[in-house]
Structure 1
Amino acid sequence: MKTLKPRTICLKPNDNISLPVGTTISVKNYSKFLELGTIFSKFKQKGIPLLNILEAIISYRLTENISLTRASNWINREEVLEEFGLKKFEQRTLFRAIETIGENYRTIILDLQDIIFDKYDFSHTDVNMDWSSLILWGNKSELGKHGYSRDHRPDKKQITFGVTELRKPINIPIGLTIAEGNLNDQKHFQQTFNQVKDKLKEGSNVIFDKGANSKDNLNSVIASKMKFLTAKKLNKSDDQLIKKFWSLNRVIVDSEKGIFGFKQEFPARTNYFFFSKNLQVEQLESKMRKASKFFKEAQEIQKSIDSKKKLPKKFLINNPLVDMKFELQTKLQFLSEKEAFEKVKKASITGREGFFCLTSSDDLTLEEALSLYREKDSVEKIMHSLKNEICIKPVRVWSTNSINGVLLIGYLAQLIISLIRYDHHELKNISTKFIKISLSQLTVTIEKLNFWKKRRIYSNFDPINELICLQNQAIT
């Protein structure tokens, strides 16, 4: 019997082009659904249509997304220009479009809210709120300030931003605020809350973490005839509760995770005091690592003192304009190694480990309060998605309007992904990363048959992109 051998692969160059079309289809569908054409037509009437550039930039954000500088190169390919109905343009045209978008970002967010709430009949308007920061690579924007850096770069200027999300099971972002890098969460809360409060029903629950908890913020929520749920920082009066916690009328909230709790009722609020065994273990492990670090640092300093050498640079102020002269003396020479470590450990461990307190203007059960607050992690996932999947960082733009524009484009990309998950319940638990990959894998190959004629061949369908791209035709 004759055995058939596979042919040797012979590559021949051709003019065929393949493009990731799944993302483009989705962006166009949702652009039409959200009436972005109507929103953006108010801001630019002449030249290249702002909507077409916007759709192209969002598609770029959800595919290659290397940098804005390269975005114009990606868009300015003949086939991509044709896909978005654009003519070849210069890079500065792209930057001007981003500036225009950023200049009007607050109006755009409010217009989007009107359309979203008009299109959908949501089961509730409870919201989760969260705030974060981004390193700013540029010095010309007045937003750039030194502040508490979530990216662990206190040496760099930054900006802060806040996101409001309709909580579970909706999980759609409806608000974006952008502010100076030194604005703390307590002050940023007012901007974020004011942006969305007119769209929330009376009695809606506003859920946020303890960083934004202040008397003024809680009063703002109450004055708007809504309810709040947040965490509170433990203080000295709470230490008294901790000491007698096990003798109080506590109940088991979650037996698997070893969570116990009790309620304290006040005229204007209810506190929900909890102890978590798992949290206690995690916090003690963290503080033991911290104690070990302090002990090793003290040993290094003592070694330098004993040998009469200069301290390692990490213990010094590394600033040529600062002349630092001081004397150091550790307690190690008076203590045994065991005694020294016990002293550091005692200073690190406070007795609050495993305890936390939630507070609400609503009368909830312990289980309800804990469940609602835990579900707040969905807005934290949106923040993570914006930073690491949509890739709004690093922010390498200079003017305030361009910063606003870049973040708004990232927000619109995230909004489309969130709407996809909401409209297709099968994708509810699929991450932004895998939705992006699936859409990018759906490609169109443009085969040039002759000078006048082309043929489009679609390939790489999978259950996710097929569901999104084919069923979304019915949505729009």
Structure 2
Amino acid sequence: MAIIYQTNKETKITYAYDNVAYWDKDKQQSRAKRTLIGKVDPETGEIIPTRAYTKRSKELDPVTPKPGPVPMTITRRSFYGASYLFDQIGKLTGLETDLKACFPNTYKKILSIAYYLILEENNSLSRFSHWQRLHIHPYGEDIPSQRSSELFQSIDEKERVLFFEKQGKRRIEKEYWAFDITTISSYSEVLKQVKNGKNKENDRLPQINLALLFGEESGLPFYYRKLPGNITDVKTIKQLMHEFDVMGYQKVNVILDRGFYSKSNIDELYKNHQKFVIGVKLGLKYVKVILDDERENLKLWSNLQTQFGAYGLCKSIEWEYEQERPYKGDTLKDKRRAYLLIYYNPEKAAKDQMDMNAYLTSLYNDLKKGNRRDYRFKDYDKYFDVTETPKRGLKIAPKEDVMREEAKNYGYFALLSNEVKDPYEALSLYRSKDIVEKAFGNLKERLNFRRMQVSSELSLNGKLFVEFIALIYLSYVKKKMQDAKLFETWTLQGLLDELDTIELFEAPEHGRILGEVTEKQRVIYTSLGVEPPSLQNSGT
């Protein structure tokens, strides 16, 4: 059984239906029976049941118990401390409330699987049955592999978008949002968006691309989008702006890696009145002109910021804005104010030189061994002249002028913004995009998503969503640990393991008894912004 939604084109009212699939023996095909549940509240997304549905429900379940504690029928001792932490995070962030509003029938299953993915690092879902027998979790019962697959397939696009809307509205309006894309490899031959593309980890398998949006201040993700594997970063901005509009995100400030830079993308950001900070390549004409003029001034002591170990300055420029107007059949041309922020970091200069030396040596060895790699073809010709004659054999000569020109820019980098003109404020914001890169690492490593192990589009979409929910919890914990400097004494796994030792004993004759909470554990909870557990505040 699943819930589907249909909108009346005339009244614009959205109705929710129970959709039950069955096999029609006469027609020898799958059919579905739909039963009206009620209307969908346009503001909250909650379903308002019809009288007929409420009456039917009571007839089918005439002894529905009143809300309250579930009576205990078994005696058990379960690990509780880490689950309690996630319960409280769900309340503090509004995550549980938003999930319940969007997935009223399945949100507890979603939460339980998310808890499992975080606490059982790198384990497959087939181990959930074992884990849940030893742990308190929101759903409270086993979710076998078949049921988890059904759960993934029941999570549809409309519910996901509604969840993104609700989470986006909880973010600080002035907060910058960091946006980036990663690749996830797959062996699947049936997933439509699995394509060959440029893999950021040099994995030669086909892939999908996954885009994530993070709050720079909160450190929490609240939007993702799955893309075909052959879509490049630079092609995604226009679609992102459209989706901001659909989800009602207003006055958005975005942080973008230089892989998203193109003139058309910057024009699109201006067109949508988006504030931005974006990395730019030093080879761009307008960047090169200013950098050459300011190269010596940049290294003055007055431009040094010791906190960042870098020199920086800002130059106001005019952006040559263009907007195609199909309805008028012309192109609007205008000027927009922008700020070019240029930097020099001596440590980066040394690292750039070491990295380039290693790369050039690798290219040279490839040429010497006759082992050219497809993805390096342009660079072989860029940095070396290769000739071969019967008499002299193979001769590989470095293009010194090209290498010297590259060396000029070791340690330099640049940003572009239409709002931030303080170079170190811009740099601080730009470096915050590292949270997205770390999130991708969490998703692939800790949440076991480096390879997609699903067999259908519906399963992939649903599993991605549940992994995303787990990522929100994981990001909250890591951000709080960083703020409280807990990483000086704890690893993430060690901290969660420490809390997970707290037990809850349940018995029909004795009720619920919370195990010992040590002072060390109380400090951890408090540092994470959570009140330590007790039978009064734990909801048990």
- Shorter chain as normaliser: what TM range? 0.7 to 0.9
In the alignment, what sits opposite 1:322? Answer: none
Deviation at 1:453, TM superposition (A): 8.8
In the alignment, what sits opposite 1:181? Answer: 229
1:64 partnered with 2:125: no
Deviation per residue, 1:150-189 (Å, 9 max, x gap): 2220x21111112222223x32222211211111112223
Which amino acid letter does the alignment assign opposite residue 55 of structure 1?
L
Distance 1:205 1:429, change over 3 A: farther
SS at match of 1:62: helix
Distance 1:315 1:200, change over 3 A: closer
1:128 partnered with 2:178: yes
Distance 1:231 1:385, change over 3 A: same
Which amino acid letter does the alignment assign opposite residue 101 of structure 1?
I
Counterpart of 2:531 (choices 449, 457, 470) is: 470
SS at match of 1:235: coil
For residues 408 and 283 of structure 1, what CA distance do their matches in structure 2 show? 38
Give the TM-score, by structure 2 length.
0.66
For residues 177 and 86 of structure 1, what CA distance do their matches in structure 2 show? 30
In the alignment, what sits opposite 1:145? Answer: 195
In the alignment, what sits opposite 2:343? Answer: 274
Aligned residues: 422
Which amino acid letter does the alignment assign opposite residue 229 of structure 1?
V
Distance 1:292 1:465, change over 3 A: same
1:161 partnered with 2:161: no
Aligned alpha-carbon RMSD (Å): 4.0
* Structural mapping, 1:63-462, within 5 Å: 63-75=119-131, 77=133, 79-80=134-135, 83-101=137-155, 103=157, 104-114=159-169, 116-117=170-171, 122=172, 124-153=174-203, 155-168=204-217, 170-196=218-244, 200-202=249-251, 204-235=252-283, 237=285, 238-246=287-295, 252-254=302-304, 256=306, 257=309, 259-261=311-313, 263-266=315-318, 267-268=335-336, 269-301=338-370, 314-315=371-372, 330=388, 343=398, 346-349=401-404, 350=406, 351-362=408-419, 364-420=421-477, 427=484, 430=487, 434-442=491-499, 443-445=501-503, 457-458=515-516, 462=521
Distance 1:37 1:98, change over 3 A: farther
Contact preservation (8 Å) 2:185, 2:208: yes
Deviation per residue, 1:194-239 (Å, 9 max, x gap): 444666553x532111111223332333233332211222336344
The sequence identity of aligned pairs, in percent, is: 15
For residues 524 and 392 of structure 2, what CA distance do their matches in structure 1 show? 66
Deviation per residue, 1:381-407 (Å, 9 max, x gap): 333333333443332112222222222
Distance 1:258 1:72, change over 3 A: closer
Contact preservation (8 Å) 1:37, 1:51: no
Deviation at 1:369, TM superposition (A): 2.9
For residues 332 and 391 of structure 1, what CA distance do their matches in structure 2 show? 54
For residues 389 and 294 of structure 2, what CA distance do their matches in structure 1 show? 35
SS at match of 2:148: helix
| Bigger fraction of residues in strand | 2
Counterpart of 2:84 (choices 10, 14, 25) is: 25
SS at match of 2:119: coil
Give the TM-score, by structure 1 length.
0.74
Distance 1:465 1:331, change over 3 A: farther
Distance 1:278 1:464, change over 3 A: same
Q: Report the more deviating stretch, 18-27 or 449-458.
A: 449-458
| Bigger fraction of residues in helix | 1
Distance 1:193 1:436, change over 3 A: farther
For residues 429 and 344 of structure 2, what CA distance do their matches in structure 1 show? 17
Deviation at 1:287, TM superposition (A): 1.3
Consecutive unaligned residues of structure 2, counting only runs of 5 or more, are 1-74, 319-334, 375-385
For residues 332 and 359 of structure 1, what CA distance do their matches in structure 2 show? 52
Higher relative contact order (CA 8 A, sep 6+): 1
Contact preservation (8 Å) 1:208, 1:230: yes
Which amino acid letter does the alignment assign opposite residue 74 of structure 1?
H
Deviation at 1:94, TM superposition (A): 0.9
Deviation at 1:93, TM superposition (A): 0.9
In the alignment, what sits opposite 2:42? Answer: none
For residues 331 and 298 of structure 1, what CA distance do their matches in structure 2 show? 15
Contact preservation (8 Å) 2:85, 2:525: no
Contact preservation (8 Å) 2:126, 2:144: no
Contact preservation (8 Å) 1:102, 1:408: no
Deviation per residue, 1:134-165 (Å, 9 max, x gap): 11242221121111112220x21111112222
For residues 290 and 54 of structure 1, what CA distance do their matches in structure 2 show? 45
Consecutive unaligned residues of structure 1, counting only runs of 5 or more, are 1-15, 302-313, 318-327
Q: Report the more deviating stretch, 262-271 or 156-165.
A: 262-271
For residues 119 and 434 of structure 2, what CA distance do their matches in structure 1 show? 26
For residues 335 and 39 of structure 1, what CA distance do their matches in structure 2 show? 68
In the alignment, what sits opposite 2:96? Answer: 36
Contact preservation (8 Å) 1:262, 1:274: no
